[in-house]
Amino acid sequence: MPSVVGLLEQHELAARRRVDGLREEADRVQAELATAEQEWLEWTIARERVGAVLSAPGGDSADAVAAERPGSAGTEVQASPPLVVKARSQVPVWREGLAQTALSADYQRILAVLADRIRLGQGPLTCQEMASFFGMDVVPAKVEGLRSKAKRLVARGWLAETAPGRFTLARGVSGPGDGS
């Protein structure tokens, strides 16, 4: 007969795996939502600009652009107020030219340590090793927090997980001061 503690640990592990899976799915959906919102904003701006150009007297696009500027002389073109799209994702999806300063300090520290490892010709790091590098107590709570951040960076293209639990910079991502 299995022990009560053993059964509780099994249920706890199953629940943690479900939470991790749902968290990864939520991160993926948030990244996709941010991209869709950006695309929507771009289409809205394009429609408003075309509308301004087409509604200008005589079809003069230079007058329409001047009319859009505040305080300009010329016909007033009423455009709806610009939409402000706030990315809800704490970690943006990596793309060429995106600076690491787009990330919070915790994420930047992870990237800096992994960039140093690459510069020194060393391999990927585990979350326990990262916790040690950061001077943290290597306890499950701290390690799982780092693991969650590392997995989020993997999901967004900043890191690669070369083997289960071993993280390094993704191809194309460079260390601080290397242009990324």
CATH C-level class of 90-180: mainly alpha
Gap between the Cα atoms of 24 and 169, Å rounded: 19
> Among 167, 156, 12, 164, which Cα is nearest to 92's?
156
Residue 125 CB burial class (10 angstroms; 0-12, 13-18, ≥19): buried
More confident of the two residues 158 and 177: 158
Give the domain ranges of the chain: 1-87, 90-180
Give pLDDT, residue 160: 94
For the ranges 36-40, 61-65, 71-75, the lowest mean pLDDT is seen at 71-75
Residue 78 CB burial class (10 angstroms; 0-12, 13-18, ≥19): exposed
Would the pTM of this model clear 0.85, i.e. be above it?
no
